[in-house]
């Protein structure tokens, strides 16, 4: 819009905090898969100097991801096989599967 400026450093609506890292219940497997796959894509796109900090900020500002504990997302990302196209499938007990996710 004319006359409006967007700040260079957009603040997050929710700042990362330890108490926000724990999920307060169970979530469907598809939601877990989505959180892991979106977190992986965010880190791949951002290529942050501090991946843990960027992941915490992403988790804090992403409403659906907060239903999944940050530690569970981190554990899944730590198991990523590396180069190539991979996606997480199967919920918390799932794993990395070759190829792209069936939905973004």
Bridge partner residues of 95 (DSSP): 89
Helical packing angle, 29-46 and 70-78, nearest 10°: 70
Q: 62-104: per-residue pLDDT in tens?
A: 888 888 999 999 999 999 998 889 999 999 999 999 998 887 6
Give ∠ CA 37-77-14 in degrees, rounded to 5.
70
Q: What's the pTM value of the predicted model, to 2 decimals?
A: 0.75
């Amino acid at each position: 819009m004319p006359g409006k400026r967007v700040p260079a450093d957009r603040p997050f609506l929710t700042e990362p905090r330890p108490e926000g890292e724990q999920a307060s219940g169970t979530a469907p497997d598809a939601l877990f898969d989505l959180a892991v796959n979106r977190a992986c894509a965010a880190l791949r796109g951002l290529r942050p100097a501090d991946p843990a900090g960027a992941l915490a900020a992403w988790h804090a500002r992403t409403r659906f991801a907060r239903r999944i504990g940050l530690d569970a997302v981190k554990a899944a990302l730590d198991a990523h096989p590396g180069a190539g196209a991979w996606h997480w499938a199967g919920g918390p007990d799932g794993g990395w599967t070759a190829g792209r996710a069936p939905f973004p």
